A and B are shown apart, each in its own frame.
Chain A
Amino acid sequence: MKVTSSEYSYLTSFLIRSLFFGPAIYSILHFALQDGWISLIISFILSFIPLIIYYKLLNHNPHDNIVSINNKLGTLGKLINMLLILFIIFHAGLILWNLTNFIYSQFLFQTPLLVISIVLAISIFYVSIQNITTIARTGTVFFIISTILFFVAAFSLAGECDLNGLKPVLNSNFSSILKGSFASLGLNIFPIFIILIIPKNAIKNSNKLLSSFFKVYIFRFICMISVLIICISILGIELTNLYQYPEYHILKTINIANFFQRVESILSIQWIFEAVIAIALCIYYIKESITKTFNFKNKFNLINIISLISILIITKYIFPNNTIAESFYKNIYPFLTLIFFLIIPFLVLIVTKFKKNKY
């Protein structure tokens, strides 16, 4: 069961985008204000550091995914795998919480949060019990739909943009812009680590991986920068910061010739697709990790069921209110992803390199 390099790149793009709408936009704009787009450009440049680490881990041994690499480190490796399993369950819980909160706050404000999460969880479960090839193909279809919807939204809103809204440029101090970049790295870039669950030999045309990855990666970054620029230039930074999901509210302003309007619900489905695939990938990671680390057989999709129940519990109980959530996403979570998705893999890379050289 193999995925193509394009499918691999599309899956990565879902991990990048899964926490962009909502938490990342909120965090970036609260730190960097109208210079948020500069924060994103800086985070794009800085993102090459984690990308190089991930690429080295992918190339370490074509047969090994990150779990196998860790397992070769013995007990320490198993411990790392356990920690990563727990953290990825937590990460998936945060993605589901964000999606649930979006649906609750904008559409179904009279429906209990748990009901919304369960409905989403059933769909996620259905995706997660498929093999990686099917998930990747589903991801490709979702990527195409999301891209079309993004272009429809962007072109519909282009006429309303007033680039004066981006002024004053560089009004925020440099440390605030860097904080915005760090939030973007923590919420959008470090989660790319999860894709390392697919080993290199499971990629069909791996020689094309780099070019395909960077095409999708640059495209996704351009999309993210465009979203920020469109939000700020239409609503102004004050209103953008006031809205919980400004990227959804600007979709409400679409009106072409009094004919093409009230399309925000259709256009926002792209965020549901992105979150569903990202959570399915997290569950795939957890499943692979548990089966490989503990030689556990996934009978009756037990791992998927337990993971999803854990994710639902996290979604239900993690944040008593969204003020705490906003603060957590902005101030704490980027540091956690830095530790679990960058520092730990970096240490693993150093140790494995060291061991390799030793023998």
Chain B
Amino acid sequence: MKKLLIIPLILLLTGCWNYRELNQLAITTGIAVDKENENYKITIMIANSKKGSGSDGSITPSAAVYEGKGKTIYEAFKDTSLSVSKQIYLSHIDVLVLSEEIAKNNLTDVIDFLFRYPQTRNNFYLVLAKAKKAGDILKITTPLETFPSQNLAKNLEITDKLQGFTYTVDFTDFTKSLVSEGINPILPSVTIIGNTIEGNKDENKEQSEPTTYLKLDMLGLFKGDKFVTWASPDESKGINIINNKIYILGVIIEKENKKIVTEITEMETSFKVENNKVKITVDTVGAIQEMNADLNLYDTKTIEKIQNADIEKIKEYINMAIDLAKKNKTDIFGFGNYVYKNNPKKWNEIKDKWDDEIFPNLEVEIEVNLRLQAKGSINNIVEVKE
């Protein structure tokens, strides 16, 4: 009996039954969703398409983009698969690009489909297509990465680490802020610089100066599942400061029409909400990164002045962000979430009027502590002899 059992076990448990080889799958690395009339338009980027040969005769992998339309996301995917000879496989998505229209009206349809679909992994990045079709974003070729979707995902990661005005939002982060109490989501955006049609061509990636390329843009603010507005770069910096999402931030101040740049390398933000008043505390460390003004950096008073000016600038970023959020009545910072977590009874009383009445009238107190600890590799400004 025991020996007989081994036969079905060998057949069934080794995974030989109903298997799918890699070359039978269309590994999708990017999805873009647009709305055309009443239909959803899905654009998918397939990574494991037939390899092409490079100019030196070498074999290079190439990406293929397919489109499909349908009244539902499901239908649009099925329509896409009509033109693909392999089974569409969604486990390796790097990025999901959403058009402005989808972000304004139909976001939950897209979210629901991807949430429900067992193959997706929920760690891909979400990005908004600013003033362009989402599908076009996936078509722009680039000399730096093989696949546009990979280029976009890596660009988001790198910019997140090196600049303060954008940050990566993955599917879990986004849906978490979508379903949590007292917080609204935000998403980074991307746009196309140059001619979209030229950017689709292979020649675009072979040029030393590509005529068309993707560029990360400002943060998009949501109220619930509806996109409401764009933030400017400075407002985006403020949003990221309050949300504690800053890795590196360049603070630019002006002294006698000359510019001084301080690079913030450590930043820790916390806030407290009590009696309709928010107290934001920012503890930060930075170093002078660029100096165009004629100042004596040996003098501690000069350092103090720069430090104070930086503090004022950081406060300005924060105030700009708060003003934008208040104006659009969307709590993207999670002040309401703070109230919910620390005083749930009060939250239950005020949650219905939080976004529209209480949040726009919150009193804000900002405290910034900056330690300007370095001046780069040199001690003073570069003085040129006359």
* Residues of chain A having any CB pair with chain B under 8 Å: 105-107, 109, 111, 118-119, 122-123, 125-126, 129, 164, 167-168, 171, 235-236, 238-239, 242, 249, 252-253, 255, 262, 300-301
Q: How far is the CA of A167 from the CA of B121 in the complex (A)?
A: 27
Contact A301–B122 (Cβ < 8 Å): no
Q: Taking A126-B9, A249-B122 as contacts, is the C-beta distance between A111 and B18 under 8 angstroms?
A: yes
A123 vs B9: C-alpha distance in the bound complex, in angstroms? 7
Q: Tell me whether A235 and B13 are in contact (CB under 8 A).
A: no
Interface residue ranges of B346-377 to A (CB < 8 Å): none
Nearest-Cβ distance from residue B179 to partner chain A, whole angstroms: 4
Q: Contact at A123–B2, with CB atoms within 8 Å?
A: no
Query: Which of B46-54, B279-287, B322-330, B337-345 forms contacts with chain A?
Result: B337-345
Q: State the CA gap A238–B176 with chains docked (Å).
A: 7
- The interface residues of chain A lying within 8 Å CB-to-CB of B123 are 252-253, 255
| Residues of chain A with a CB closer than 8 A to B12's CB | 118-119, 122
Partner of A167, one of B8, B115, B179, B342: B342
From A110, which residue of chain B is reached at the shortest CB distance? B18
- Is B5 within 8 A of A122, CB to CB? yes
Are B121 and A252 closer than 8 Å at their CB atoms? yes
- How many chain B residues have a CB neighbour from A under 8 Å? 24
Partner of A239, one of B118, B176, B341, B344: B176
Complex CA distance for A126 and B115, rounded to whole angstroms:
37
Sample (25) of A-B pairs whose CB atoms are under 8 Å apart = A105-B118, A122-B8, A122-B9, A122-B12, A123-B9, A126-B2, A126-B9, A129-B2, A164-B341, A168-B341, A168-B342, A168-B344, A236-B176, A236-B179, A236-B180, A238-B176, A239-B175, A239-B176, A249-B122, A252-B121, A252-B123, A253-B122, A253-B172, A262-B121, A300-B1
A123-B344 in contact given A107-B118, A238-B179, A255-B123 (Cβ < 8 Å): no
On whether the beta carbons of B118 and A106 are closer than 8 Å, the reply is: yes
What's the minimum C-beta distance from A249 to chain B, rounded to whole angstroms? Answer: 7
For residue B18, which residues in chain A have a CB less than 8 angstroms away from its CB?
111
Nearest CB in chain B to that of A171: its residue: B344
CB–CB B1/A239 < 8 A: no
Partner of A126 from the list B5, B172, B175, B343 (CB cut-off 8 Å) is B5
4 nearest A-B pairs in the assembled complex, by CB-CB distance: A167-B341, A238-B179, A168-B344, A171-B344
Decide if B9 touches A238 in the complex (CB within 8 Å). no
Given the complex, which residues of A lie within 8 Å of B180, measured CB to CB?
236, 238
* Contact indicator A119/B172 (Cβ below 8 Å): no
Residues of B within 8 A of A106 (CB): 118
Contacts of B5 in A (CB 8 A): 122, 125-126
**Of all chain B residues, which has the CB nearest A119?**
B12
B344 touches A235 (CB 8 A): no
Task: State in angstroms the CA–CA spacing of A123 and B12 once bound together.
Answer: 10
Nearest A-chain residue to B118, judged by Cβ: A109
What distance in Å separates the Cβ of B337 from its nearest Cβ neighbour in chain A? 9
Give the docked Cα–Cα distance between A337 and B252 (Å): 67
Q: Which residue of B lies closest to A116 (CB)?
A: B12
Distance in angstroms between the alpha carbons of A164 and B340 in the assembled complex: 11
Contact in complex: A242, B179 (CB < 8 Å): yes
CA distance A105 to B180 in the complex (A): 25
Would you give the 0/1 interface string for B1-39, flagging 1 where the beta carbon is closer than 8 Å to chain A?
A: 110010011001100001000000000000000000000
**Interchain nearest-CB distance for B206 vs A (Å):** 29
Question: How far, in angstroms, from A75 to B153 measured CA to CA in the complex?
Answer: 71
Q: Which residue of the partner chain, among A105, A123, A129, contacts B1 with CB atoms under 8 Å?
A: A129
Most chain A CB inside 10 Å of its own CB: which residue of B13, B180, B341: B341
The distance in angstroms between the C-alpha atoms of A239 and B9, with both chains bound, is: 37
Which residues of A sit under 8 angstroms from B8, Cβ to Cβ?
122
Bits for B152-168, please: 1 = Cβ < 8 Å to A, else 0.
Answer: 00000000000000000
Set of chain B residues within 8 Å of A118, measured between Cβ atoms? 12
What CA separation (Å) do A253 and B124 show in the bound complex? 11
Interface 1/0 per residue, B217-236 and A, CB below 8 Å: 00000000000000000000
Collect the chain A residues with CB atoms within 8 Å of residue B13's CB: 119, 122-123
Which A residue sits closest to B121, measured CB to CB?
A: A252
Question: 4 additional contacts, CB 8 Å, given A122-B12, A238-B181?
Answer: A126-B9, A171-B344, A236-B179, A239-B172
Report the Cα distance A315→B341, complex, angstroms: 41
A116 to chain B, nearest CB (A): 10
Question: How many angstroms from the CA of A126 to the CA of B179 in the assembled complex?
Answer: 45
Chain B's closest residue to A34 (CB) is B341
CA distance A123 to B11 in the complex (A): 12
In angstroms, how far is the closest chain A Cβ from the Cβ of B86?
A: 15
Per the bound structure, the CA–CA distance linking A242 and B172 in Å amounts to: 12
Residue of B nearest to A300 (CB): B1
User: Can you name the residue of chain A whose Cβ is closest to the Cβ of B12?
Assistant: A119
Taken together as a complex, chains A and B put the C-alpha atoms of A239 and B178 apart, in Å, by 10
How does the 8 Å CB contact mask read for B106-122 relative to A, with 1 for contact and 0 for none?
00000000010010011
Contacts of A238 in B (CB 8 A): 176, 179-181
How many angstroms between the C-alpha atoms of A262 and B342 in the bound complex?
35
In the docked arrangement, what's the CA distance between A261 and B114, Å?
20
Q: How far is the CB of A233 from chain B (nearest CB, A)?
A: 12
